[in-house]
Amino acid sequence: MPNHIFEIAKKSLEHNIIPLQAGTFLTAGAHQFKTFWTRDFCLSARGLAAIGRTDVIRSHIEYLLKNRRHDDLVPLYVDSMNPVHRVVIACIFKALGLSRKSLKMKETISPFYLVNGQFEVADSNVLVLYAARVYADATGDQAWLQKHHEDFRAIFNFYKTKMVNGLIQQGEHADWQDSAKRKGIIFFTNLLYYHAARDYGFLNESELQQLGERIRQEFYDEKTGLFRSIAGRENISLEGNLWAIDYGLLKDSKELYQNLRKHELFSKYNVPGFATYPSYTDDDMYIQVKVVGLREYHGNLFWSWLMAYSGKIAFKQQDTEMFEKIRINFEKIIKRDQTVYEIYHNSDEHPHFESWLYKSEAPFSWGAAFLLDMLKTAE
């Protein structure tokens, strides 16, 4: 891919790096998501490493570790104002046809632990463990990893009280697919927990084996050869299966990729990038999501990070045909937009999503980071 595509993605990610007295942080976006979202930051770690900004990874993680709740839950997000207000203001301005220029991030920032002040998040802790490993691997700074070993063990042990029959049970709005009523036993959260347990050695071999077997029993779908996303439901989501392939978790990567390659998640449109098939029912969706126009937010809308992640996995699996399709599609989109958007329509041209109340976030850190990681991998 031409170098200027890398530079546009790099510029998009760098735009959202903000230095403050408390440290250097990454916001999720530039408008409604101009907040230090823990999930978005952690999943942007490989992109930050790809452009040599490991200092941001270290600084952001250290703030999160220092500001854990009494039970070792890391902040869901950090901001100088209520993050919900940012989103509401952006939507109102969009409806009125006004500039969505975000309120400035001030020096005095505070941690927030609950979604909308009500719901406890499930994936932040385990994603901090992931980002810390990315930092250590990129820098070789194993001493830093060892220095915080007990901090990492504490945020891993946070999940002990969340277990039901050996798997993490979560509430509403608890992971990245927060537009749907995705609660209970969720594949992606448990997969990330398994990944962290394997990488850090926080479970012994017997415990790890038992955990892996429980996840396979609960989520593996013999019909498709893929992992379902919600226990007891038919929905299959792209992100968990890509992650399992990427890190060689639970099933043979080549077999799992071939099954994904044949599935609607890869075959329904020209390229993969939408989140879930079949899409969620109308009853699954929260009313505020439907009002904003995001009925298919985690269904049939395309995500920049999922398109890029699919491209990376296709390349690693030596699927040249699919990688080239994704590469060419991204080149077209990025050259057209000169930035990385959050979500796109599923039509061939993939215009960024826009409704009367909502405009796809740009530049979007998470998507830019995964595009950078895809390009670095393909080098």
Give the domain CATH number at 222: 1.50.10.10
pLDDT score at 2: 55
326 and 312 Cβ atoms separated by less than 8 Å: no
How high is the mean pLDDT of the chain? Answer: 96
pLDDT in tens, 331-358: 999 999 999 999 999 999 999 999 999 9
Question: Into how many domains does the chain fold?
Answer: 1
pLDDT score at 1: 45
pLDDT in tens, 91-131: 898 888 887 776 889 999 999 999 988 899 999 999 999 99
pLDDT score at 103: 82
Q: Is the pLDDT of residue 275 over 70?
A: yes
pLDDT score at 98: 83
* Distance in angstroms (rounded) separating the CA atoms of residues 165 and 215: 11
User: What range defines the domain where residue 65 resides?
Assistant: 3-378
Q: Go through 137-165 and write b for each residue having 16 or more CB atoms within 10 A of its CB, e for each that does not.
A: bbeeeeeebeebeebbeebbebbeebeee
* Residue 17, strand partner residues: 26
Average pLDDT of the segment spanning 265-287: 96
pLDDT in tens, 136-194: 999 999 999 999 999 999 999 999 999 999 999 999 999 999 999 889 999 999 999 99
pLDDT score at 102: 67
- Nearest of 308, 311, 302, 290 to residue 355 by alpha carbon: 290
Q: Is the pLDDT of residue 209 over 80?
A: yes
pLDDT in tens, 223-254: 999 999 999 999 999 999 999 999 999 999 99
- Nearest of 143, 146, 152, 130 to residue 49 by alpha carbon: 130
pLDDT in tens, 357-378: 999 999 999 999 999 999 999 9
pLDDT score at 12: 98
* Distance in angstroms (rounded) separating the CA atoms of residues 124 and 121: 7
